[in-house]
Chain A
Amino acid sequence: MRILVVEDDELLGDGIRAGLTQAGFAVDWVTDGVLAQGALKGEYYGAVVLDLGLPRLSGMELLRRLRGAGHDVPVLILTARDAVADRVSGLDAGADDYLVKPFDLAELAARLRALARRRHGAATPVLKAGALELDPAAHVVRLKGQPVALSPKEFAVLQELMLNAGRVLSRESLERCLYPWGEEVESNTIEVHIHHLRRKLAPQLIRTIRGVGYLLPRGGAD
C-alpha cells in the first residue's frame, strides 16, 4: 500500500519513511502542504500521514481543501497538540484518525492498515478470499491454513488485489501502489510478481484480463 507522509521535520519524516517501508508500505515523503497537494493530485495513495504544523500550507488547510474537492483518501493526523479541542477540530476538518507525538511506529502502521481496510469496506483485520487468508499486521499469508512465504513486494501485490477483490486492477495502478518515487519500476515487474504468486499459491488464483489488468475473484480461486 502506498502512503504519503507530510512532515516538515527532517528527522521525523525520515524516520517515518524508513519505519513504514520496513512495515511493508510504499512511502512518499514531502515536507510541505503545497507539495502534498501536488502529490495527492497525481498519485493514488492508500492513506496520508499528515503533520499539522506545516510550512506554506498548514495541514488543517490542506485537509479542508482535500475534503472540499471530494477527495476521500484516509488521513491520519500526526501532531504535538493533544488537547481535546485540537483533536475535535482535526477530526471535524475531515481527518480519519489522530496520533499524538511521540508515537509508536507499530501503532502508526496498524492504524494505517485499519484505515485502508475500512476504506475497502472490510471490517475484519484479516483479508479473506476463499481458502486464502492475508494478515496485514502479522505479514502472514495462509492457503488452506498453511503459511506461504512471500517476498515483501509479492505480499504487497496480493494485499492490493485482496483489498480490491472482485475488481480489476490495471498494471499501472498496481505499480503506483507498490513503488514510491525514486524506486525504478521495470516494465515487466508486476508480471513477474503475479507469476510468482500464481506459482506459490495456485495457478488460477489471479485472473488476467487481457489488455485491462488483473483480478482476484471475491470468493478466491475455488
Chain B
Amino acid sequence: MGSLRRRLLLGLLTATILAWSLALFLSYRNARHEIDEVLDGYLAQSTSLLLAQLGHEAGEIDTEHVPLLHKYGRKVAFQLWDRGHTLLLHSANAPDGRLSPVLEGFSDSLAGGERWRVFSAWNDDHTLLVQVGEKAAVREELGREVAAGLLRPMLLALPFMAALIGLAVGRGLVPLARLQRQVEARSPHNLTPIETSAPAEVAPLIRALNALFARVSSLIENERRFTADAAHELRTPLAAIRTQAQVARAATDEEGRRHALDQVLAGCDRAGRLVEQLLTLARLEAGQLRDGGACALRALAAEAIAQVAPFALAQGVELELASGAEATVAGDPDLVRVLMRNLIDNAVRYGGAQGTVRVAVERTGAEAVFSVTDQGPGIPPEQRAWVWERFHRVPGSAGTGSGLGLSIVRRIAELHGARAELEAGEGGRGLTVRVRFPAAPV
C-alpha cells in the first residue's frame, strides 16, 4: 500500500506540474501566434511603405545608405525587382537570389542559407516587385524568450508549491496520526470505544474499530464468565469430595466409613464428568467442523441409545427408537453422537422414573429431524430460552447435572447448521427436544 502521505504528495505534485505545463504550453502557443500576427503586420506595412516610396524615385535610392536603426534591423532585408526579373535594389543584408519564389503575399522560404518570412507585393501597374523578408530566427528567439519568461517564475514557485502541498497534506492527515497515537497508546485490556471528533472520512473507520472493540469485549467477557463459572462449578464437587473424605477419616463405624468413601468416589466421578464436558465445550467453541463427513442419523441414534441403555435400565426408564427410514446429513458423526447422547441422557435423567423415552429420526422436506421425547415434568415455556445457557439448571430439578449438556447440544447443532428446539411432549406432557438438520443433497 505504501504511505498515504507519499501517495498524496506525489499525486498532488504531478497534477500540479501537469496543469502548469499545459497552461505554459497554451500561453506559449498563444504568444507565438500574437508575435506572428504583429510581425507579419509590420512586414506587410514595411512592404507597402517601400512600394509607395519606390513608385516615384526608384532610381534615386542608394542601397548603401539604408540605415540600420535597430538591432533587429539586421534581420530584416528587402529586394526590389523590375518586372519581377531584374534586381534593382536591395538591402545590404539581403541574399543574392530572390527572397522567396512566391511573388504575392506571405511565404516562408529558404534563401542564402537562411530561413525567411517574406511578404511580396507589386506596385499598381505591376512593374515593380518588392519583397521584404525577416529571418525566421527572430521569431523563434522571441518565442524562446516568452517561454523562458513564463517558465522562470513557475520554476521558482515550484519548491514553494511543493512545500505548501506537503504542509497541507500533513495537516490533512493529522486526525489519522491522532487516531494512530490513540490506538498505539492503548493497553490490550482497554476495549472502551475510541472517543474522537473525527472528520467524515475517518469517522467510519473509528466506528468500525469501536464496533470491533465491542465485539471483542463481549467475547472476552463471555470467556471470562465461562472460566469463572467453570471454576465455581468445580468447587461444589470438590467440596463434596473433601467433606466426604473428612467424614470417612473420622468415621468410627465401618458402615459409615464405607458410605463416605463411596460418596468420595461418586464425587470424583461427578467432577470428572464435569471436566469432561467442559473440555468438550471448550473444544467445540474453538473448533470448526471437518468437511466431508456424513452422518446416518438413525444408525447414530441407535448407537447413542445403546450407550445410554445401562443408565436407563438402572433408572427404570424405557428407551425406544421409532421406526422409519434412514436420513443422512453432512457432519461429524462423533459430534452428532455426543449431541444425541446428551439429549437421551437428559431425557432419562429428568424424564421421570418408570417413563418411556422415545427417540425418532424423520425426514421432512429439506430437513432431517432428530427428536427425543420424555414423559417427565417438562420445562415451563418461560424457562425454555434459558436452558441453552451454560451452567443453567432448571429450577427445581435434581442437582446432579452439570448444566452444560444442552450448551454442548446447541454448539454441536450450530456447527452443523442445525436448529435445536424445545416444546411440550405428546399431549402437552413431558418434553420434546428436536434438532433440525439441513439434509444432505442426495
Contacts and interface: CB of A to CB of B under 8 A. Distances in A.
Interface of A: 8-12, 14-16, 18-19, 22, 31-32, 55-56, 78, 80-81, 100-106
A80 B235 CA distance: 6
Contact of A10 (B235, B247, B400): B400
Contact of A12 (B243, B259, B396, B397): B243
Given A104-B246, A105-B246, A18 B260 contact: yes
A209 to B, nearest CB: 36
A31 B256 CA distance: 21
Contacts of B244: 11, 14-15, 18
B233 A55 contact: no
B202 interface: no
Interface string B107-131: 0000000000000000000000000
B242 interface: yes
| Ranked 9 nearest A-B pairs via Cβ | A15-B243, A101-B239, A11-B240, A102-B239, A12-B240, A80-B232, A80-B235, A8-B399, A15-B244
Contact of B239 (A12, A22, A56): A12
A22 to B, nearest CB: 5
Contact of A55 (B236, B240, B241, B395): B395
Q: Which of B241, B246, B399 has most chain A Cβ within 10 Å?
A: B399
Contacts of B251: 18, 22
B210 interface: no
Given A80-B232, A104-B246, 19 more contacts: A10-B398, A11-B263, A12-B237, A12-B240, A15-B244, A18-B259, A19-B246, A22-B251, A31-B399, A55-B395, A55-B396, A56-B396, A80-B235, A101-B236, A101-B238, A102-B239, A102-B241, A105-B243, A105-B246
A103 B235 CA distance: 10
Nearest to B238: A102
26 contacts: A8-B399, A9-B240, A11-B237, A11-B240, A11-B241, A11-B267, A12-B239, A14-B263, A15-B240, A15-B243, A15-B244, A15-B263, A18-B247, A18-B256, A18-B260, A22-B247, A22-B251, A80-B232, A80-B235, A80-B236, A80-B239, A101-B235, A101-B239, A102-B241, A102-B242, A104-B246
Contact of B260 (A15, A55, A56, A81): A15
B158 interface: no
Contacts of B238: 101-102
Contacts of B442: none
A94 to B, nearest CB: 22
Contacts of B256: 18
Most buried by B among A11, A14, A16, A19: A11
B139 interface: no
Contact of A9 (B259, B260, B399): B399
Contacts of B232: 80-81
